[in-house]
Amino acid sequence: MARRSNRSKFAKWGIIGGAIAAGAALIPLVPIIKRRAMRVTTILKKDHRMVSGLITGLEMTPKGNETLRRRLFDQIRRNFMIHAQAEEEVLYPELRVLVFTDQSKVDESYREHQHMKDILSDLATMDPTSASFDTKFADFKNMIQHHVDEEENEVFTLLMQRMSIEDQEDLGRRIHKRKSDLKTRKAA
């Protein structure tokens, strides 16, 4: 019986040692992972996925749970508003410089943001368990999906083609800082 106990101890420490060694092997990659995490496209894609998840959560929440539906809607609205404001103040002016010949894409992005803000404003006054809320929310969802598709497939491609990785990281840090400032201000 003592042999079996010692083997399991050795196996346990072997697994722990292997995990430590694997972690140590990844240490040189940490700066690369951190840099990629600060790229503007990575930060904005993360925001897109988070809001998409919240939208799915709201859609799956039973109509009878008004409190949870309202809470999820408020999270969607807050996250979208912070994301949109950071894009409008930091990203879009940068895009104007990158696409100085055709400003229509940037103008369209501003218009889409405003339209989505208007829909969110309407939704904020509605009963989240009503059919009219669901209809209006479906409009918002469709608009945001269209906007995200354009942004990730066209705008991000443009950024990656015309900006160095260092510039993408700098823009990402500026977006991150602006979002942090907005979150702090809204929390106060």
CATH number at residue 183: 1.20.120.520
What tokens does 160 get? 């990656």
What 61-67 contacts at long range (C-beta under 8 Å, 24+ apart), as own/partner pairs, is 63/129, 64/129, 66/127, 66/128, 66/129
Give the chain's domain count.
Answer: 2
How sure is the predictor about 97, in pLDDT bands with cuts at 50, 70 and 90? confident
**What confidence tens digit (pLDDT) does each residue in 64-88 have?**
999 999 999 999 999 999 999 999 9
Question: Are 148 and 84 found together in one domain?
Answer: yes
Give residue 23's domain range.
1-28
Question: Are 46 and 123 found together in one domain?
Answer: yes
In a domain? residue 33:
no
Question: How many residues are recorded in the chain?
Answer: 188
For the chain, give the mean pLDDT: 85
Q: How far apart are CA 134 and CA 63, in angstroms?
A: 10
**What confidence tens digit (pLDDT) does each residue in 102-156 have?**
788 889 999 999 999 999 999 999 999 999 999 999 999 999 999 999 999 998 9
In a domain? residue 5:
yes
- Predicted model pTM: 0.78
In a domain? residue 166:
yes
Q: How far apart are CA 110 and CA 84, in angstroms?
A: 9
